[in-house]
Amino acid sequence: MRVPSWLDQSNTAGRLLRDKRALFGIGVLLVVVLAALFARVIMPFDTEDMDFDHLLAGASALHLLGTDQLGRDTLSRLILGSRIALIVSLGAVGLGVVIGVPLGLVSASLGGWIDDIIMRVMDAVVVFPSLLIAVALAAALGNSLGTVILAIGIANIPWMARIVRSQALTLRELEFLAAAVAAGTSPLRIIARHIFPNSLAPVIVQATLGMGYAVLAEAALGFIGVGVQPPTPTWGNMLQQAFPFLEHQPMLSVVPGLAIFLLVLAFNLLGDVLRDVLDPRLRGVMR
């Protein structure tokens, strides 16, 4: 029986789907994405509905994951919180890619004092943790979803720029680029047609891993109170609000903590598999 081309071992999608780590990551991401997209449809209760007859209640037929100190349904808040986690991860990583990739390409292509200035600025940004940046931005702009995305996104920019610059410097030494330069191809065309496409693989891998970091950073910001503010439920502020009741109702902390763990693990596993599949050096194949 002939194996379909999309499942062929030499095919990227096929190799991805053959890896159990990738299947686990894709499965978790699919569940989270569906929960985020259809949150208002599948939530059993509104996130702000208060059941005063079941305060800090455990799991039951009515409230599958119990309720918090105000009688709000934990499952509903968990589902809606998945939307914030995905928005932050996509927004922050997207910001890092949109700004970091062009900076890396410009730095490697122009070189000289422009390269020095860009890289020194990137080094300066790396020194400041995203939590510190978020606190400063929250003080200046207020606590909001946009502030969280901006803070985590700024922390992603240097890594994207460094990866693209490193890849571009390596590609610049290869024969096909020397031939393109000798043929009189313009620098902009070389970047667009040769350097950028051949730099996409490490960018995709870093973006996937960065999404896991963004989920963790958003949860940390929510826990210390400088992330998205209540009443909007996020996994981070759910942990913060559950912390005083850890002994009486541990389920309140376990549920969002497990959700954060699984989503970060899914992104990390998927990133590892993508690195193995997309990196020719790890595959033992030179394109």
Q: What pLDDT tens digit does each residue of the chain (287 aa) get?
A: 344 443 444 566 667 777 788 899 999 999 999 999 999 899 999 888 888 888 888 888 888 898 888 889 999 999 999 999 999 999 999 999 999 999 998 888 777 888 889 899 888 888 877 677 777 877 777 778 888 898 889 888 998 999 988 888 887 776 777 677 666 666 677 777 777 887 888 888 889 989 999 999 889 888 888 878 888 889 998 999 988 888 888 888 999 999 999 999 999 999 888 887 776 554 443 33
- The pTM (predicted TM-score) of the whole model is 0.85
The reported pLDDT for the residue numbered 134 is 75
- The DSSP secondary structure of 158-213, one letter per residue, reads HHHHHHHHHHHHHHHTSHHHHHHHHTT--HHHHIIIIIHHHTHHHHHHHHHHHHHH
CATH number of 23-40+74-283: 1.10.3720.10
Give CA torsion, residues 25, 30, 36, 38, to 10 deg: -160
Contact 172, 105 (CB under 8 A): no
Domain ranges within the chain, ordered by starting residue: 23-40+74-283
